[in-house]
Structure 1
Amino acid sequence: MNNDAEKMFDAIRENEQEKALVYFNESLKKAKIEKDIEGLAEFARSLHMAGFLEQSKESYLLLQELAPEIEEWNLFLAEIAIDQNQTDSGLDLLLQFDEESELYPNALLMLADAYQTMGLYEVSEHKIKEAMRILPDEPVLVYALAQLYHTSGKYKEAIILYEQLVEEETQDLWQENLFILLADCHNAIGNFEEGIDYLEQIYQEDHTSDSLFQLGFAYLQLKQFPRAVQIFEQLLEMDPDYNSAYFYLAESLDEEHRHEEALDAIQKGIDIDPYQPEFFLFQAKLYLKLSEENEAEKSLDQVLHLDPDLMEAKLLKIDLLIGQESYDEVIQMIETEDNEGIYHPNYEWRLAKVYNEIEEFVKAAAHFDKAYLTLADNLSFLEDYSEFLREEANDTKLAELVAKALMLDPNHTYFNELRENLLTSE
């Protein structure tokens, strides 16, 4: 790079944009006069890396003028066009490379990357494999294909290629740790033990926030809760703003019956981002486990403020109101939903329970019958319905319910006792 190019970057660092533009133009003039191909190429690449795409493009166009025999300029111009979301222009430049060109594999790889960005995974795969036929031993192409499979959800295929790269001892070539990538693929298909094996091989100082999150999540899925807690706490000590880790730390603590500590973790996540309904929903569940119904109701109200359509929160709120014997409020809440065209079979179940409590048994029976049409495989519902049928002395319907329940769970204690009672009373 000439002196004007260096002055341009100094001006940029000092936020003197107009002065930088003057130095840029002077630099191009000098390069054109001196025909400094090497210096101009270095300048163009530095501009591209710094994000000055238009100036980089102008520099490469000048290089094309000064050294038209060098095909590489088109590769860089294509890359800039794609970076500027001018994908069609970039593809047109790449498609100009023919099979005889030494840069043809490079063009194929760039085409594959562009097609992958466009979601055309099969076309991308075809381009990479075409390049691999030309350069069969090139690890960059193996890595590119592994990344494509990884991105497109073909995790088993990606695992094979990542393992090949590990066996070839190419780990130092890539920005991302191959063990982390392998673990991510294994975790994605539920092979959490294999994922853990890879992640535990990473040196402590080489772990990223994401790799620690993967490791903690894998231990959580395997129900190794103490280790999950340990990993998530390690992650949050390293990166206190890794918000989703607070949720899974709270879940791990909850599984350990450390509910108050779980509440503390979920609150820290809420403090970082107070617009996450799932955090407030989990907070409500924790408050319920601690018998703090008022706090649970506040959390549920916050959930429904952020996401009015979250059915799980609506049902929890209704159950809370039923527990408080606020039956009119439940009926009004469900009627409002009905008027807005929102229907859920669980609403029928809750209405049946409410009408049973206020001794409007005909209405209760009607709602139980409607709920049964879609909740016949829900054992909790069948228990509630069976209790109602026992009170109503409807043994015929009760026998049908008991038979259905025992088909779902032949060893269910409650329904086996009901069956014995029905047989005895015959």
Structure 2
Amino acid sequence: MVEADLYQQINMVEVAIDKLQEALEREPNDPIIHFALAEMLYYDGQYLRATSEYETVLDMSESQVNGGNLFSRMADCSLQSGNYSDAIRLYDEINEDEMTSEDYLKKAISYDKNDITQEAIKIMTTLLSKDPDYIQGYLYLQSLYENEKNYPDAIETGKEGLRLSQFYKELMYTTGCLEIEHGDANEGVLLLKQALEVDNAYQEPLLILSDLYRN
């Protein structure tokens, strides 16, 4: 396993995987080696093989190994592979007190990808009530509301996020566009200008403002 770690550190992932498989030939019932191989495969994007190794570890030991939740890993493998129903099932196996903010976000994405958007909104609302500083969550929740054509809540979600971070230019841009199209156009223009103050090379708000002034 030491050799595998060294090969991973110098970006020779396939060699590292081979070394772990050699270690498994010597110790086929060692859950730590199976877990190390699963992690290596996971970070290399080999999600189906990683899932198989995580399942082996789960059969051998607890659902937590080295501080990592196996259901979380397997759920993300399913999400990344496009198996959204499996991702939902696996995320639902995780106790809420064991879920990270990233788990909540990915669980919401899984529901949304399965066209269960209202449940995704509920999950994101729960996430932001538990971790209001998870700033990227506001942008995703806003997009969910927008897809549902719930523009008032989309705008309010953007404003909530901006109250926490005055330098989140992407949220300024999306909230500004929503204001221009579905709310207070003057407020929207102001938000686009603020986004440019944060980054004067930010093209998206510049293009919108140019179109507005041209008309």
Same fold, TM-score > 0.5, yes or no = yes
Q: Is the 8 A contact 2:189 2:209 kept in 1?
A: yes
Map of 1:183 onto structure 2: 75
* Distance change in 2, residues 1:120/1:169 (3 Å): same
Whether 2:25 is the aligned partner of 1:125: answer no
Provide the C-alpha distance between the structure 1 equivalents of 2:133 and 2:197, rounded to a whole number of angstroms: 24
Provide the C-alpha distance between the structure 1 equivalents of 2:198 and 2:78, rounded to a whole number of angstroms: 34
Report the residue type matching 2:55 in the other structure: E
Question: Mean Cα displacement is larger for which, 146-155 or 248-257?
Answer: 248-257
Q: Is the 8 A contact 1:199 1:215 kept in 2?
A: yes
Report the residue type matching 1:270 in the other structure: L
Query: Structure 2 residue aligned with 1:303, among 192, 195, 204?
Result: 195
**What are the ranges of 5 or more consecutive residues in structure 2 without an aligned counterpart?**
none
Report the residue type matching 2:88 in the other structure: I
Question: Mean Cα displacement is larger for which, 291-300 or 306-315?
Answer: 306-315
* Distance change in 2, residues 1:247/1:112 (3 Å): same
Provide the C-alpha distance between the structure 2 equivalents of 1:198 and 1:245, rounded to a whole number of angstroms: 21
**What are the ranges of 5 or more consecutive residues in structure 1 without an aligned counterpart?**
1-108, 326-426
- Deviation (angstroms), 1:159: 1.6
Provide the C-alpha distance between the structure 2 equivalents of 1:274 and 1:114, rounded to a whole number of angstroms: 42
Map of 2:63 onto structure 1: 171
Identity of matched residues, %: 27
- Deviation (angstroms), 1:120: 2.3
> Which residues in structure 2 correspond to 1:315-354 (within 5 Å)?
315-322=207-214, 325=215
Secondary structure of the residue aligned to 1:240 is coil
Provide the C-alpha distance between the structure 2 equivalents of 1:270 and 1:223, rounded to a whole number of angstroms: 28
Q: Is the 8 A contact 2:141 2:157 kept in 1?
A: yes
Q: Residue by residue, what CA displacement relative to the aligned partner does 1:238-280 show, whole Å, maximum 9, x if unpaired? A: 1111111111111112222222222221122222222222111
Q: Is the 8 A contact 1:297 1:320 kept in 2?
A: no
Secondary structure of the residue aligned to 1:119 is coil
- Compare relative contact order (CA 8 Å, sep 6+) and give the higher one, 1 or 2: 2
Report the residue type matching 1:196 in the other structure: I
Q: Aligned Cα RMSD in Å? A: 2.0
Provide the C-alpha distance between the structure 1 equivalents of 2:74 and 2:96, rounded to a whole number of angstroms: 17
Map of 1:146 onto structure 2: 38
Provide the C-alpha distance between the structure 2 equivalents of 1:319 and 1:167, rounded to a whole number of angstroms: 59
Map of 1:244 onto structure 2: 136
Provide the C-alpha distance between the structure 1 equivalents of 2:163 and 2:3, rounded to a whole number of angstroms: 44
Provide the C-alpha distance between the structure 1 equivalents of 2:168 and 2:44, rounded to a whole number of angstroms: 28
Q: Is the 8 A contact 1:293 1:320 kept in 2?
A: no
- Deviation (angstroms), 1:165: 2.3
Whether 2:159 is the aligned partner of 1:287: answer no
Provide the C-alpha distance between the structure 1 equivalents of 2:30 and 2:70, rounded to a whole number of angstroms: 17
Count of matched residue pairs: 215
Report the residue type matching 2:209 in the other structure: K
Provide the C-alpha distance between the structure 1 equivalents of 2:117 and 2:65, rounded to a whole number of angstroms: 35
* Distance change in 2, residues 1:189/1:136 (3 Å): same
Provide the C-alpha distance between the structure 2 equivalents of 1:196 and 1:296, rounded to a whole number of angstroms: 36
Provide the C-alpha distance between the structure 1 equivalents of 2:161 and 2:79, rounded to a whole number of angstroms: 24
Map of 1:82 onto structure 2: none
Secondary structure of the residue aligned to 1:213 is helix
Provide the C-alpha distance between the structure 2 equivalents of 1:113 and 1:199, rounded to a whole number of angstroms: 29
* Distance change in 2, residues 1:172/1:219 (3 Å): closer
Question: Mean Cα displacement is larger for which, 116-125 or 273-282?
Answer: 116-125
Secondary structure of the residue aligned to 2:93 is coil
